[in-house]
Amino acid sequence: MKRSSAIYSGRVIHRRHRPKVHRLFYRVFALYLDLDEIPALSKAMKLFSYNSAGVFSFHDGDHGDGTRGGLRRWVDTQIEKAGQDPGSMRVFLLCYPRIFGYVFNPLSVYFCHDTYGNIRLILYEVCNTFGERHTYVIPVERVGPKGIRHACDKALYVSPFLSMDCRYHFHIMPPAQDVVVAINETETSEPVLHASFTGQRRELTDRALLGLLLSHPLMTLKVTAAIHFEAMRLWLKKVPIHRHAPSGERVAQTLIKSDQKGRSS
């Protein structure tokens, strides 16, 4: 039986525009998981497990409200709050897996499809290194040739080198043979940071995961190490620091209404 879930292998690019120019890129891969298919994947695959230890694994507690075994229920709640019917939705999650038990996902993206396969809702789940998580829930009016564009105000402290007085501009080319997830962050309407993931689809198999383990050893640890290494470089460049003010809630969500969300194009 053909799997709906897949792998997207590609690279992440960060470009900081001000107050100091800074650029980095690194090769990564992400899993594109049909939430309802994950238990069957775990049973059928040797290198992938669900809510248990494994070489590659996916844990509900790494996402949503952090409860074990309740991610689909949490997503359904967000769908309901957005005024849509979760019973008719098929949900795919683009994220990094745990590798040997460790993962840090700066951004995970949920694509909620209706019975016709149309994307009706996207959840942008942003995490910081302080263990806080904020999800921006944004309806999709249509998907045009240039993909999906959304915008919202920043609600979670992410980096000591970025102000909270910023706005996110998301640009999505939905998963097909390729996928693009890009964020342009602005402050007072001026560009501050561009971050993007571009990936190419591969079949999700044990053989493919073994190949990625060899070509991307300890990738999830490298993501965290890269964040701290680049932070040191920015500090050396004397980029101003914005101190962390703990969020009132460790996990929070914002529903973006039609008049707030930007547009699809």
pLDDT for the residue 240: 67
**CB-count exposure of residue 210 (10 Å: 0-12, 13-18, 19+):** middle
Question: For the chain, which residues score pLDDT lower than 70?
Answer: 1, 19, 22, 229-231, 233-238, 240, 247, 258-265
pLDDT at 67: 81
Query: 243 and 133 in contact (C-beta within 8 Å)?
Result: no
Please report the pLDDT score of residue 244 as a whole number: 79
Confidence at residue 242, expressed as pLDDT on a 0 to 100 scale: 74
Per-residue pLDDT of 231-256, as tens digits, reads: 676 666 667 677 777 767 888 999 99
Supply the pLDDT for residue 261: 53
Helix, strand and coil in the chain, % to nearest 5: 20, 40, 40
Determine the 3-state secondary structure of 235 from DSSP. helix
The answer for residues whose C-beta is within 8 angstroms of residue 184's C-beta and 6 or more apart is: 168, 169, 171, 191, 193, 194
What is the model's pLDDT at position 235? 62
107-113 and 119-127 strand pairing: antiparallel
pTM: 0.93
Give the pLDDT score at 164.
87
End-to-end CA separation in angstroms for the chain: 35
State the pLDDT at residue 236: 66
Give the pLDDT score at 262. 44
Write the pLDDT tens digit of every residue in 127-137: 998 899 999 99
